[in-house]
Structure 1
Amino acid sequence: MHYEGELLTQASQIGGLSFLDSLDTDSVLLSCLDQLMNFYRSDYGFIYIDTNVRTKNLTPDVPQTWELVASCIIDKDRLRIVKSSVSSVGVSPSLLSYLNNKDFFYSNSEIPVKIPEPEKTVNSLACFPLKISDVVCVVFCLCNTATELKEEQLVSLRPFLSSAALILQTEKQTSLSNIYPAVFDDRQYCSLLAILNNLFNGVVFVNDDGEITFCNNSALRLLALSHSEAIGKPIKNFITSDSSLIQALVANNRRADDTFFNSDSCAKRSHFPGVLISSFKGDKSVVNVNLIRCVVSERVVRGIVFSDSVDDKIISNDYHSIVQRYQVITNYAPVGLIQLNKDWECIYVNDAWCEYCHLTPDECYGLGWINGINSDDLEGTLNSIRVDLSSKGRYSNKLRLKTPLGRITWVTLDARSLFYEDGSINGVVISVQDITDYLKKERELKDIAETDQLTGLVNRSFFNDRLEVAINGIKRFGAVALLFIDLDKFKQINDTLGHEFGDELLKQVGERLRSCLRRVDTIARIGGDEFTVLMTNISNVQAITTTTEKLIDSFSEPFILGQQSVYVTCSIGITVGEDNHTRSKSLLRQADAALYKAKEAGRNQYKFYTPELDKSVNLLIDLRKSLRESPNDDFRVVYQPQVHSVTGNIVGIEALSRWSSPLGEDIHPDMFIRMIEDSGLINEFSEWLFEKVFKDVHQLREQFTEASDIKISVNLSVKQFRNRDLVKYLGKLCVEYAISPACFVLEVTETAFIDDPKLANLTLAQLKELGFSIALDDFGTGYSSLSHLRSMPIKIVKIDKTFVNDVIHDPEDAKIVSSIISLVHTLEMDVIAEGVENTEIKSWMEANNCFVQQGFYYYEPMPLEDICHLLKNRS
């Protein structure tokens, strides 16, 4: 909010705040009201002042009456001051009566208040007092508060209002001298009142006749009097014992000497212990009395201080008991404790400290305690303690303690300053705790966290940290080379020999690789059969080539696994970082791309990264992202019908996958399928593909009953045969979508038989037993087609389109295709011609008894919606 208008100009005219005339009281009070109204979101606010302020009579026992000095209203979120008087505001009598009779602290009441602008009556009144010298002088009233008054909110406002009162009181002590003119008649000493009123001991000032001229708050509570009741009363009325003190108070012969009451009886005495005090109500208290004297405005002021007599009852036995308890407690503590004085000399040490250092307490006293700190840590630790204690008051760190026999103990040291009452440093307390075992376990855990537990090499996390350090040092130490190493066909060893032998092989590989590297190079196993090497301080590319060839040559000797000798090769991808702009992620990506290129080139070799590889790398990244994050958006399935050339009927449909990269580019299936297989994502892709195809087939069968005779062909990749759950998974989908396996034809290539004939034969036999038909795809492009036709459970043979396209123009291809068709018929199998693109090829195939054909002459691959539309038109 912002202030507008005039600041309580009527207040100074009324004179209600004249006792605070030189302070900008208007700003203080309006700021308070502004904060209160803002906190409670109030519509209206009022400032009332006690009329006794005019007469400067601020004693608590004088009845209070109130005058309105300002009213405020929130107008468009801004605080506006309204000039008004009590009568013009129209405050109801009930409100004034409430203010006069209420014992103010905080209140929340429902009192009708008439508001002049606009003319209406509101409720929900909240009152907040502002106390000056323990007297409520100002009251803020809020109306139409939007926030319900809660106790925790009231508590939070007490310091706020106390601070406001302190601002007014501190700057305007003139009024306080009018409360006790006999004592505080000089403004510069008015602040003494605030100090005395905050003492725990009672303080009473008396005149020469022994009459009370001032009582602080503690003395008033002790005597059970108010300010007005106490002034002028003889102090002897409250003292019921100690005749010497009474005589001193009532003596008539006074001399201007340095004694407090100038009587012979107490000239040499100012302390009276165990004095019995009787309050105005008759309550008895035993206190110690001290007579004091001070000079205020060149005038002697005599006083009495009442203190609790319990303070003097701690005797020697109690002191020794406390010391004994302190020693027992500290000696039972599981930490070493030592107390130093301000000269850094030991004045106390507990048993734990002595045990850590193997020193006796006597040997620790004085400066002997520093002999327990390891000499290498001593100077730095003492300097750090001094600096931190002087600036922060505390110090914490790890250091070593050392026994006279040389045993080292690691500890955490914590030091705290001790202070005198005046704030000066009295000494230091130091505690130490043994962390030797903890540090040992911490180091062990760190080794576990940074080390590959199988090979003993560093792991991926630690390697990444070392890579960052190496990159940051390129400018100073030279280029770095990053090598990605992958074992060729490691999975076959795991599958044939078992994981135990696979783990043993990885251990031996780690040892061989490490033996080929310099001590400054870092080698890590980052997972599976993948290793990385970081070479630093590289002066030329030849150094990288030499090391890489040495790594590959290390695999020329066989690995001994149990009783078997196994030969293994590796592929390596290399990238080099040469400038300060190198980033670790870029190097990792580049090395991965180079490794992929080495494997693609035939394995057992190395490739350097080149910028041309970026496209392949980015494509692989996009492929992984599409498959794992949005397969249904980036991948799709299209269907190409297989037609009987004589009847024109659709007898089958082949499901073909398509991928559009996130950039919108359509990637050829041969490329992205190979990338999926090489990146180990084939199982994830297969699950998505089969789910999609089964869902589409279910939808097709629901819409067209005649579609039940149409076979659906799906390609199986070579690496899908390695999934031992393939048969179980396909059977589960058939049950889930209520589709017979006989509706599907699973197409495989001859490559699947070559890689692992035993596994391929077993998997295909299980699929055939389940009801699936098996087709041999791309027949004629392999190396052992006839043996596969005889030994594998194949029902359909698909002639590769590379032969079909040339049967018209190439007699040799025509002979081959004619022979294939005759052979397939002889073996009582079905044959399908792929790639039929014109009438001539169609007719040639019919003439050679191949009637099921597939190709652009009939249909291009199309989405499921178009297949449904095609079947609908044909029906």
Structure 2
Amino acid sequence: MNRRSDHALRESISTLERLLLTAHSADTILERSLEEVARLLDAEQGYAFEVQPSEGATVSWNMVAYGEREDNFILKPSASASSTLPQSLLFQFRSGRMSYGEGGLPPEHAQPLAAAPVHNYLCIPLADMRNLYGVLYLSNLRTPVTQADVERLRPFVTAACCLLRASWAKALKNRPVDQALTNKPLPPSLDKLFNSLFDGVLLVDAQNTILRANRAAAETLRTPLSQLAGLSVSNFVDSTIMSHLQGTGQLLGAESDQPGATIRGVSLVPSSGSKRLADIRIFPCGFWGDDCRGIVINDISEQVRSAAEYRDSQQRLRALTTLAPVGILQLDRNWECSYVNDTWCDYVGMTADEMMGVGWVNAIHQLDCDRFLEQVRRKATGHGRYSGDVRFQTPLGEVRWASVSACMLYDETGALDGLLMTQSDITDYLRKEQRLREIAEHDQLTGLANRTCFHSRLTSALEESERYGAVALMFIDLDNFKHINDTLGHDAGDELLIQVARRLQEQIRKVDTIARVGGDEFTVILTHLSNQTAVKMVAEKLLRALSEPFELANRNIYVTCSIGISVVNEMTDRKQFLKQADIALYKAKESGRNQYRFYTSELNRDAHMMMSIRESVKARIEEDFHLVFQPQYNARSGDVIGLEALVRWRHETEPNISPSVFIRLIEESGLICEFSSWLFAETIRLSEQWKTHLKQGCKISINLSERQFLSDELMADLSVMPAKHGLQAAWFALEIREKALLANPERAAKLLESLSHDGFEIYLDNFGAGYSALMHLQTMPVHGIKIDRAFTAELAGNKQNERVAKALLNMAEALELKVIAEGIESDEVSHWLLRHQCPLQQGYLYSEALEPDDVSGILAACNSHL
């Protein structure tokens, strides 16, 4: 939502800003902030901490507010508890970075004892460039926090920090100076030592008010000793330094965060006299309480002046001697050129007069100018020197690369006095390096990025995802590319890959990456994404781009592709990211190709299940799989007329996985032949114990999947297995779904003829569920049909289903086919089928699937016969 149209946010900010009209303490501001942000995000509970102004490495915080949602979010009384803010959180809070997540708070975060269990949370530091003022916690939000929520709250956080900063400033300003401390005498011996020190020493309180000063400090600050007590250090020190001597900010320029840290080159502004430079060192001093600190002032003005003169002469000497063979350019404190040598002028194609003043900037390439000047200002002024590569462009348009080094020049006070730069030509070197890099990082056939470059850019994209937005990874695989190589040859295949690469590259942005990582395998990295819709649009564009024909060997060739997509919003493991996209690609191929699929947790579950399936079939087939049998009844006589063999898989984490799921996974794993051999053998082996009932007409039904049915090897094994165990094929019925017949009707007809000739009865399973056609019942040796459970479940009371069921039964009667109705779970459905001459039924109304040991009892009790 646009912030201008976010009326709830604007109302909350206005409510908060009205506190400016009257003076409020920091804890009141934090309470109001907690109420407003909890209302905005609909949080169940929340609490606020106030950070106490202090310096050094230790920072304390105090819980000042706690609230819960009833009808509205209401603040509750809570015990105030002060503690030390963990160092592990301090850097994050000072940076102002909000954190959120699912589940409980990380252990280092604080949580009230009375708070409810945390299901999700949002942590909001209230910090600006100077100080950390407080921290708000929200938990158990109605909807999980997203990055959009974080961005939405930033104006609110800015307003809250503004109020807290004003409150802190007023509290510190109004705090009275403890006159007892300023008048408290030092012991005589300590006072003598104190005033004998060469360095100036100030003893100050928490508000940086001077409690005591020695003679050296009075001389450095050009102020009478008797007048220093009661003055603020801000009278003599620049405001930038003062902002780091109070609040929770660390000392600017300090060499460490331990007591005794030093601030180098501080400008002092005495009450009279010229500006002075000094090194300031802060140390704890508990002589007048815990808030008392000492400030040691080491006047370095003369040292800086002497050093500046020496450095100036040395720098100029080096410029005239050792740096002469390279380009030399000197700038004054206004960044205007004051000197340039002939080498630099020749390199950029300009005269010395043209380079003077700001003319030297015109030689920098326009694409590098802003970046180069910004880096030089930032690095040179911060560290005293700079080095980097930059492009120059001559007035004639020739572009050349140079390696540029720069160092700062200072005057006697230590202030910036100018800059000295040198440059050397690296154009030829970079051209060779770029060519070698292109060879190393690009695919020689298509010109796209290769596998090495792809992995490097993917790592960079993931590292920047938290800052720049979501990253999407696409795995693209051409469908049936091997067929083109086999029919048209590898030269045509290579030409096709070149054309495919060109089309794919035309569909993505320049900031994105497309790579060829294998024979016909491509990858795309999409960055700076705001939502998943953009990824869908790119995927659809890629599919459309490949839908147009390709011209190869004077022929129009049509190619499709499958795309697997994975999207992440933050830094994640690269290998896991690749695996997710690969799983999604596999799903796209499995779903029929020429489409895209996004990675989901369900796909990952299938992948792990596939691994477990492989392990079970290869190593523990006897332990992990077992058979159960569901009886089939004659509803009129109550006799058992058959048993359907059903396989079950004992999975550790999900014990109730449907056979339709794990049989599909076994087929996809390529282990269906090995599994089926065990399944057929085990079914027939267990059937031996029911031989008496089989002779009386009870049949054992075995389900055949499409791949099982179309395997000549499996069908040959099945034909001979009954005889090996002293059984007859006529005692078994094979249930085949009509989809298996559609793949290759002629071959299916021959297989059915062979199985029927061996004695097996053939049933069309799941009849009425979608594929059924009268043609197969007329032309193939089918002995019966099984009406699908999805059809019978909605039979009673459904006039449309009743009419269709009557038609099916009449058709089966006309074709002299047996009919078994599956999924019978109610007396109403059973009686309807009996009234319409369908007594053969199967379902939970009669019996659930039984273990083999329980089947014999059922058979004996029913005295089954046909």
Which has the higher Rg, Structure 1 or Structure 2? Answer: 1
Q: Give the TM-score normalised by the residue count of structure 2.
A: 0.41
Normalised TM-score (structure 1): 0.41
